[in-house]
A and B are shown apart, each in its own frame.
Chain A
Amino acid sequence: MDSPDLFTLRKNFTEKQIMLCFNGPISRSLIEEIGIALKNYLTAEHAQPSEAMDVFAVYIEATQNIRHYTMLRGYADADASATVVISRNESGRYVVSAGNTVEAEDGRVLMERIGALACLDKTELKRVYKEQLRKPRDPAAGSGAGLGLIDIARKATAPLAATVTNLDDGRVFFSLCAVI
Protein backbone atom coordinates (compact mmCIF):
# COMPACT_ATOMS: atom_id res chain seq x y z
CA MET A 1 0.00 0.00 0.00
CA ASP A 2 1.24 3.50 -0.80
CA SER A 3 1.91 5.68 2.17
CA PRO A 4 -0.63 8.50 2.50
CA ASP A 5 0.21 11.56 0.46
CA LEU A 6 0.07 14.07 3.29
CA PHE A 7 1.27 16.93 1.13
CA THR A 8 -1.68 16.62 -1.27
CA LEU A 9 -4.04 16.12 1.65
CA ARG A 10 -2.69 19.23 3.34
CA LYS A 11 -2.93 21.21 0.09
CA ASN A 12 -6.55 20.15 -0.23
CA PHE A 13 -7.30 21.17 3.38
CA THR A 14 -5.68 24.55 2.85
CA GLU A 15 -7.45 25.25 -0.44
CA LYS A 16 -10.84 24.28 0.98
CA GLN A 17 -10.11 26.29 4.18
CA ILE A 18 -10.82 23.26 6.34
CA MET A 19 -10.15 24.07 9.99
CA LEU A 20 -11.25 20.77 11.44
CA CYS A 21 -12.17 17.39 10.06
CA PHE A 22 -12.89 13.90 11.22
CA ASN A 23 -13.58 10.58 9.53
CA GLY A 24 -14.27 7.36 11.39
CA PRO A 25 -16.38 5.73 14.12
CA ILE A 26 -17.72 8.52 16.31
CA SER A 27 -18.39 8.16 20.04
CA ARG A 28 -20.11 10.39 22.57
CA SER A 29 -16.78 11.44 24.09
CA LEU A 30 -15.23 12.08 20.68
CA ILE A 31 -18.09 14.45 19.82
CA GLU A 32 -17.33 16.30 23.07
CA GLU A 33 -13.56 16.40 22.45
CA ILE A 34 -13.89 17.66 18.88
CA GLY A 35 -16.46 20.14 20.17
CA ILE A 36 -13.94 21.54 22.66
CA ALA A 37 -11.34 21.88 19.88
CA LEU A 38 -13.92 23.61 17.69
CA LYS A 39 -14.81 26.08 20.46
CA ASN A 40 -11.10 26.86 20.94
CA TYR A 41 -10.57 27.43 17.21
CA LEU A 42 -13.56 29.73 17.02
CA THR A 43 -12.30 31.73 20.01
CA ALA A 44 -8.81 31.93 18.47
CA GLU A 45 -10.33 33.19 15.21
CA HIS A 46 -12.29 35.85 17.13
CA ALA A 47 -15.64 34.65 15.80
CA GLN A 48 -18.59 36.63 17.19
CA PRO A 49 -20.00 34.79 20.25
CA SER A 50 -23.38 34.32 18.54
CA GLU A 51 -21.78 33.07 15.31
CA ALA A 52 -19.47 30.73 17.25
CA MET A 53 -22.47 29.36 19.12
CA ASP A 54 -24.37 28.73 15.85
CA VAL A 55 -21.41 26.82 14.38
CA PHE A 56 -21.06 24.80 17.59
CA ALA A 57 -24.81 24.13 17.74
CA VAL A 58 -24.96 22.89 14.14
CA TYR A 59 -21.92 20.68 14.76
CA ILE A 60 -23.55 19.15 17.86
CA GLU A 61 -26.98 18.60 16.29
CA ALA A 62 -25.49 17.07 13.12
CA THR A 63 -23.14 14.68 14.93
CA GLN A 64 -25.68 13.71 17.61
CA ASN A 65 -28.22 13.03 14.84
CA ILE A 66 -25.68 10.62 13.31
CA ARG A 67 -25.10 8.94 16.70
CA HIS A 68 -28.84 8.55 17.31
CA TYR A 69 -29.34 7.14 13.82
CA THR A 70 -26.56 4.56 14.05
CA MET A 71 -27.84 3.43 17.47
CA LEU A 72 -31.42 3.26 16.20
CA ARG A 73 -30.29 1.07 13.28
CA GLY A 74 -27.94 -0.92 15.52
CA TYR A 75 -24.97 -0.39 13.19
CA ALA A 76 -21.62 -1.94 14.06
CA ASP A 77 -18.62 0.39 14.46
CA ALA A 78 -17.57 0.37 10.80
CA ASP A 79 -21.02 1.50 9.69
CA ALA A 80 -21.41 3.89 12.63
CA SER A 81 -18.80 6.17 11.12
CA ALA A 82 -19.22 9.85 10.49
CA THR A 83 -17.42 12.27 8.22
CA VAL A 84 -17.38 15.77 9.65
CA VAL A 85 -15.76 18.85 8.12
CA ILE A 86 -15.79 22.40 9.43
CA SER A 87 -14.49 24.93 6.95
CA ARG A 88 -14.96 28.42 5.60
CA ASN A 89 -16.30 29.35 2.18
CA GLU A 90 -15.13 32.10 -0.25
CA SER A 91 -17.19 34.73 1.60
CA GLY A 92 -15.57 33.78 4.91
CA ARG A 93 -18.68 32.10 6.31
CA TYR A 94 -18.35 28.97 8.41
CA VAL A 95 -19.58 25.77 6.80
CA VAL A 96 -20.46 22.64 8.78
CA SER A 97 -20.67 19.43 6.72
CA ALA A 98 -21.53 16.02 8.13
CA GLY A 99 -22.12 12.71 6.40
CA ASN A 100 -22.87 9.08 7.24
CA THR A 101 -24.08 5.84 5.75
CA VAL A 102 -27.85 5.35 5.85
CA GLU A 103 -30.41 2.91 4.45
CA ALA A 104 -31.53 3.95 0.95
CA GLU A 105 -35.11 4.54 2.11
CA ASP A 106 -33.97 6.70 5.04
CA GLY A 107 -31.81 8.70 2.63
CA ARG A 108 -34.84 9.33 0.44
CA VAL A 109 -36.93 10.51 3.44
CA LEU A 110 -34.08 12.79 4.62
CA MET A 111 -33.72 14.38 1.18
CA GLU A 112 -37.48 15.04 1.10
CA ARG A 113 -37.42 16.62 4.57
CA ILE A 114 -34.47 18.83 3.67
CA GLY A 115 -36.14 19.82 0.39
CA ALA A 116 -39.28 20.80 2.32
CA LEU A 117 -37.28 22.81 4.90
CA ALA A 118 -35.40 24.62 2.10
CA CYS A 119 -38.70 26.16 0.93
CA LEU A 120 -39.40 27.77 4.30
CA ASP A 121 -38.35 31.24 5.43
CA LYS A 122 -37.15 31.98 9.00
CA THR A 123 -40.66 32.69 10.32
CA GLU A 124 -42.04 29.46 8.87
CA LEU A 125 -39.05 27.51 10.19
CA LYS A 126 -39.76 28.85 13.66
CA ARG A 127 -43.40 27.76 13.40
CA VAL A 128 -42.41 24.23 12.25
CA TYR A 129 -39.79 24.11 15.05
CA LYS A 130 -42.33 25.04 17.74
CA GLU A 131 -44.83 22.52 16.36
CA GLN A 132 -42.20 19.78 16.49
CA LEU A 133 -41.20 20.84 20.01
CA ARG A 134 -44.83 20.41 21.15
CA LYS A 135 -45.21 16.93 19.61
CA PRO A 136 -45.15 14.04 22.09
CA ARG A 137 -41.87 12.16 22.20
CA ASP A 138 -41.57 9.16 19.91
CA PRO A 139 -39.77 6.53 22.03
CA ALA A 140 -38.47 4.84 18.85
CA ALA A 141 -36.88 8.03 17.56
CA GLY A 142 -34.32 8.30 20.38
CA SER A 143 -33.89 11.61 22.17
CA GLY A 144 -33.40 13.59 18.97
CA ALA A 145 -37.07 14.57 19.10
CA GLY A 146 -36.95 15.33 15.36
CA LEU A 147 -35.82 18.85 16.13
CA GLY A 148 -32.18 18.64 15.04
CA LEU A 149 -32.63 19.20 11.31
CA ILE A 150 -35.06 22.08 11.80
CA ASP A 151 -32.69 23.66 14.30
CA ILE A 152 -29.81 23.36 11.81
CA ALA A 153 -31.98 24.94 9.08
CA ARG A 154 -32.85 27.82 11.42
CA LYS A 155 -29.20 28.53 12.20
CA ALA A 156 -28.05 28.35 8.57
CA THR A 157 -27.90 31.54 6.50
CA ALA A 158 -28.68 29.63 3.28
CA PRO A 159 -30.97 26.67 2.53
CA LEU A 160 -29.39 23.37 3.59
CA ALA A 161 -27.63 21.42 0.86
CA ALA A 162 -27.70 17.63 0.92
CA THR A 163 -26.71 14.77 -1.35
CA VAL A 164 -26.96 11.00 -1.35
CA THR A 165 -24.40 8.79 -3.08
CA ASN A 166 -25.16 5.13 -3.81
CA LEU A 167 -22.90 2.57 -2.16
CA ASP A 168 -22.14 -0.95 -3.40
CA ASP A 169 -24.07 -2.62 -0.56
CA GLY A 170 -27.37 -0.94 -1.50
CA ARG A 171 -27.08 1.70 1.17
CA VAL A 172 -26.30 5.38 0.52
CA PHE A 173 -23.89 7.95 1.89
CA PHE A 174 -25.91 10.92 3.09
CA SER A 175 -24.16 14.26 3.27
CA LEU A 176 -25.52 17.47 4.77
CA CYS A 177 -23.97 20.90 4.46
CA ALA A 178 -24.98 24.04 6.38
CA VAL A 179 -23.55 27.52 5.76
CA ILE A 180 -23.66 29.56 8.98
Chain B
Amino acid sequence: MDDLNIPASVSTPAIQSNWQAGVLAMQGDSYPENSYELFSPVFEWIQAFLAQESKPLSMELQLVYLNTSSIKFMMDIFDLLEDAHRKGASVAVNWRYDRQNERIAELAEEFREDCTFPFDIIAKN
Protein backbone atom coordinates (compact mmCIF):
# COMPACT_ATOMS: atom_id res chain seq x y z
CA MET B 1 0.00 0.00 0.00
CA ASP B 2 1.42 3.38 -1.00
CA ASP B 3 1.78 6.01 1.68
CA LEU B 4 -0.39 9.11 1.45
CA ASN B 5 1.02 12.59 1.16
CA ILE B 6 -1.81 14.95 0.32
CA PRO B 7 -1.22 18.72 0.57
CA ALA B 8 -3.82 20.91 2.27
CA SER B 9 -6.25 23.09 0.29
CA VAL B 10 -8.58 25.84 1.52
CA SER B 11 -11.21 23.30 2.51
CA THR B 12 -9.23 20.10 2.98
CA PRO B 13 -6.56 19.09 5.51
CA ALA B 14 -3.01 17.95 4.81
CA ILE B 15 -2.72 14.18 5.16
CA GLN B 16 0.41 12.05 5.55
CA SER B 17 0.80 8.38 6.30
CA ASN B 18 3.86 6.37 7.28
CA TRP B 19 3.27 2.64 7.02
CA GLN B 20 6.72 1.85 8.42
CA ALA B 21 6.12 3.91 11.57
CA GLY B 22 2.40 3.07 11.84
CA VAL B 23 1.30 6.70 11.78
CA LEU B 24 -1.44 8.55 9.96
CA ALA B 25 -1.50 12.33 10.43
CA MET B 26 -3.98 15.04 9.42
CA GLN B 27 -3.73 18.81 9.94
CA GLY B 28 -6.05 21.71 9.17
CA ASP B 29 -9.68 22.39 8.28
CA SER B 30 -11.94 19.87 6.59
CA TYR B 31 -15.09 21.15 4.91
CA PRO B 32 -15.13 19.93 1.31
CA GLU B 33 -18.50 19.65 -0.39
CA ASN B 34 -17.72 16.04 -1.23
CA SER B 35 -15.96 14.46 1.74
CA TYR B 36 -15.99 11.00 0.17
CA GLU B 37 -13.15 11.84 -2.25
CA LEU B 38 -11.02 13.10 0.61
CA PHE B 39 -11.68 10.38 3.14
CA SER B 40 -11.90 7.20 1.08
CA PRO B 41 -8.09 6.88 0.53
CA VAL B 42 -7.56 7.49 4.27
CA PHE B 43 -10.16 4.88 5.14
CA GLU B 44 -8.62 2.38 2.72
CA TRP B 45 -5.11 2.98 4.00
CA ILE B 46 -6.16 2.36 7.62
CA GLN B 47 -8.19 -0.70 6.63
CA ALA B 48 -5.21 -2.20 4.79
CA PHE B 49 -2.83 -1.41 7.65
CA LEU B 50 -5.08 -3.05 10.25
CA ALA B 51 -5.60 -6.09 8.03
CA GLN B 52 -1.91 -6.65 7.20
CA GLU B 53 0.07 -5.42 10.22
CA SER B 54 0.25 -6.41 13.84
CA LYS B 55 2.27 -3.36 14.94
CA PRO B 56 0.59 -0.36 16.64
CA LEU B 57 -1.21 2.31 14.64
CA SER B 58 -1.52 5.88 15.82
CA MET B 59 -3.45 8.80 14.36
CA GLU B 60 -1.83 12.17 14.97
CA LEU B 61 -4.51 14.81 14.44
CA GLN B 62 -4.34 18.56 14.38
CA LEU B 63 -7.73 19.06 12.78
CA VAL B 64 -9.45 22.37 13.40
CA TYR B 65 -12.87 22.79 11.82
CA LEU B 66 -14.84 19.86 10.38
CA ASN B 67 -18.13 20.15 8.52
CA THR B 68 -20.79 17.57 9.32
CA SER B 69 -19.99 15.39 6.31
CA SER B 70 -16.32 15.24 7.39
CA ILE B 71 -17.48 14.45 10.94
CA LYS B 72 -19.43 11.46 9.65
CA PHE B 73 -16.37 10.10 7.83
CA MET B 74 -14.16 10.65 10.88
CA MET B 75 -16.68 8.67 12.91
CA ASP B 76 -16.40 5.82 10.39
CA ILE B 77 -12.61 5.92 10.80
CA PHE B 78 -12.82 5.85 14.60
CA ASP B 79 -15.33 2.96 14.36
CA LEU B 80 -12.74 1.09 12.30
CA LEU B 81 -10.12 1.70 15.02
CA GLU B 82 -12.59 0.71 17.74
CA ASP B 83 -13.33 -2.55 15.96
CA ALA B 84 -9.61 -3.33 15.63
CA HIS B 85 -9.03 -2.41 19.28
CA ARG B 86 -11.77 -4.82 20.38
CA LYS B 87 -10.03 -7.56 18.37
CA GLY B 88 -6.79 -6.86 20.21
CA ALA B 89 -4.97 -4.43 17.90
CA SER B 90 -2.99 -1.58 19.41
CA VAL B 91 -4.47 1.70 18.15
CA ALA B 92 -4.37 5.25 19.51
CA VAL B 93 -5.47 8.77 18.63
CA ASN B 94 -3.66 11.95 19.68
CA TRP B 95 -5.61 15.10 18.86
CA ARG B 96 -3.70 18.34 19.45
CA TYR B 97 -5.54 21.65 19.53
CA ASP B 98 -4.91 25.31 20.22
CA ARG B 99 -6.05 25.92 23.81
CA GLN B 100 -7.59 29.23 22.69
CA ASN B 101 -10.26 27.33 20.78
CA GLU B 102 -12.28 25.08 23.07
CA ARG B 103 -14.66 24.08 20.24
CA ILE B 104 -12.00 21.73 18.86
CA ALA B 105 -11.64 20.03 22.24
CA GLU B 106 -15.44 19.68 22.46
CA LEU B 107 -15.57 18.13 18.99
CA ALA B 108 -12.76 15.68 19.82
CA GLU B 109 -14.45 14.87 23.15
CA GLU B 110 -17.70 13.90 21.37
CA PHE B 111 -15.75 11.44 19.23
CA ARG B 112 -13.92 10.08 22.25
CA GLU B 113 -17.23 9.31 24.02
CA ASP B 114 -17.78 6.43 21.58
CA CYS B 115 -14.23 5.02 21.75
CA THR B 116 -12.60 2.73 24.30
CA PHE B 117 -9.06 2.78 22.81
CA PRO B 118 -6.50 5.39 24.03
CA PHE B 119 -7.71 8.77 22.74
CA ASP B 120 -5.78 11.80 24.00
CA ILE B 121 -6.93 15.38 23.53
CA ILE B 122 -3.90 17.59 24.05
CA ALA B 123 -3.99 21.38 24.45
CA LYS B 124 -1.04 23.27 23.01
CA ASN B 125 -0.12 26.92 23.39
The chain A residues found within 8 Å of chain B, CB to CB, are 28, 31-32, 35-36, 49-50, 53-54, 56-57, 60-61, 64, 67-68, 126, 130, 133, 137, 143-145, 147-148, 151
Contacts and interface: CB of A to CB of B under 8 A. Distances in A.
B33 A64 contact: yes
B75 A133 contact: yes
B31 A60 contact: yes
Judged by DSSP, the binding face of A is: helix
A60 B68 CA distance: 10
Interface string B91-111: 000000010111110000010
Contacts of A137: 72
B101 A145 contact: no
B33 A148 contact: no
Contacts of B104: 53
Given A36-B10, A67-B33, A50 B103 contact: yes
A151 B103 contact: no
A145 B72 contact: yes
A35 B65 CA distance: 12
22 contacts: A32-B10, A35-B10, A35-B11, A49-B98, A49-B103, A53-B64, A53-B65, A60-B31, A60-B65, A60-B67, A61-B67, A61-B68, A64-B33, A133-B71, A133-B75, A143-B36, A143-B69, A144-B68, A145-B72, A147-B71, A147-B72, A151-B68
